[in-house]
Amino acid sequence: MKLSEFGFNLPEDQVALEPPYKAFTNDDGSVDKIYRRDECRLMVLHRKSQKIEMYKTDEDGKEVKGADGNGVFMTFRDAIKYFDEGDTFVFNDTAVFPARLYGTKEKTDAKIEVFLLRELNAEFRLWDVLVEPARKIRIGNKLFFDGDGPMVAEVIDNTTSRGRTLRFLYDCPHEQFKSELYGLGEAPLPRYIIDRRPATPDDMNNFQTIYAKNEGAVTAPATGLHFSREMMKMMEIRGINFAYVTLHCGLGCFDPIEVEDLSKHKMNSEQMKIGKEACKLVNKTKDEGRRVCVVGVSTARATETAVGTDGRLKEFDGWTNKFIFPPYDYGLANSMIANFYHPESIMMMATAAFGGYDLVIEAYKKALKNGFRFGCYGDAMLILDD
């Protein structure tokens, strides 16, 4: 397929800048927000019948109407009713760290954004980073963090046009160094959010899944952000199983695709691991003919990297640059939860590959028309194989 087939006009006011919330005004006029991550809207796609659902229904299957006479939109919690005891959800349990820091360049005091990608060497405090503006940062430059504090980094190599290798000049035990480094950082929100508002302390919680376990991601597996502890408890009571895999999400999903022919696009590699326990649970679910639901594109890419030709999930410990776009036959899952993504994004393409291009494009049109929100904090879709 071609890149242009995934283009559409996304109004700026339909890009979600924070999760769903309820706001309360205090006596002093200040406003507090209580975030409700599982109260985003939900759209359900049935890929065999080509049916699309948006509104709540009662026990008789009739559409629930609001006070205005219009249908009441489903919320994310309504996804539970489509699953039964013995079904399995597959989650990506990677954890994001506060990867975005701001420092100043020696002598000029120019403000520099430093985005931590990964630690290269713990002993020598070497990190692979991106810097902005890159044109100002050369080998040998020193960057100072936290004002007059002790955290200093020296640029020792250029890796890409924006990439640099930093050596942090900080003499202390490694865990203390890492703790203090992270203390300077903020949630690594996508550029389309950070360009519209500053990160807040709430974002470090909101931009982390509640089941995050293995640190290493520089962006969140966004679809998983919708799951609350209350919702997962409800799923557990219903008898739904949870399987966990790890794929450390990098920035490759946000890199613009610069070729019209999608078969010529190359993804950056990301580290992933799938263990024996997840394989055993997922394969048992498949053997019993029940639903296996992958939560998000990162989870789908991980499981599709590790699925065998027999349709069974295999253990895996390595790297993947799996790029999924239509036409593509998924080998493992028979249901999927995804967000509504930006135009021409690899996440949108992977979703269209699962649900079918025509059905997913129709869902996007309905989402745009009905005010659904897009992006990592936006609304969700559930795709079922019925």
Whether the per-residue pLDDT at 373 is higher than 90: the answer is yes
Residue pLDDT, tens place only, 144-199: 987 556 789 999 998 877 889 999 988 888 888 999 899 999 999 999 999 999 99
**Of 254 and 74, more confident:** 74
**DSSP conformation letters of 209-274:** -TT--EEEESS--GGGGG--HHHHHHHHHHT-EEEEEEE---SGGGSPP--SBGGG--PPPEEEEE
Range in 13-27, 139-153, 229-243 with the lowest mean pLDDT:
139-153
Sign of the alpha-carbon dihedral angle for 222, 225, 231, 235: positive
Q: What is the mean pLDDT of the chain?
A: 93
Tell me the C-alpha distance between 66 and 104, whole Å.
Answer: 54
Percentage of the chain beyond pLDDT 90 is 78
Mean pLDDT across 197-221:
95
Q: What is the mean pLDDT of residues 68-78?
A: 92
Find how far residue 245's CA is from the centre of its chain: 14
Query: So what's the pLDDT on residue 149?
Result: 62
Q: Tell me what pLDDT residue 170 has.
A: 82
Looking at residue 252, its pLDDT comes to: 80
pLDDT of residue 95: 97
Q: What per-residue confidence (pLDDT) applies to 23?
A: 86
Cis ω for the linkage preceding 188 (within 30 of 0):
no
pLDDT confidence band for 66 (50 / 70 / 90):
confident
Give the global pTM.
Answer: 0.92
- Position 243 confidence tier, pLDDT thresholds 50, 70, 90: very high
Confidence bin at 253 (pLDDT 50/70/90): confident
Q: What is the pLDDT of residues 79-94, one digit of tens each?
A: 999 999 999 999 999 9
**What percent of the chain clears pLDDT 70, i.e. is strictly above it?**
99
Looking at residue 62, the DSSP 8-state letter turns out to be P
Is the Cβ–Cβ distance between 211 and 56 less than 8 Å?
no
pLDDT band per the 50, 70, 90 thresholds, residue 27: confident
More confident residue, 23 or 75: 75
Rounded (5°) CA angle 71-372-229: 90
Average pLDDT of the segment spanning 45-56 = 96
pLDDT at 167: 94
Higher pLDDT pick, 160 / 2: 2
pLDDT at 335 over 90: yes
Report yes or no: 219 and 209 within 8 Å, Cβ to Cβ. no
Strands 88-92 and 241-247, bridge-based pairing: parallel
Average pLDDT over residues 269-273: 95
Q: Which residues pair with 55 in a beta bridge?
A: 73
The dihedral of CA 163, 164, 168, 174: what is its sign? positive
Q: Which residue has the higher pLDDT, 160 or 380?
A: 380
User: Do 207 and 19 meet the contact criterion of CB atoms below 8 Å apart?
Assistant: no
Please check the confidence at residue 61 and state whether its pLDDT lies above 90: no
pLDDT bracket for residue 62 (50, 70, 90): confident
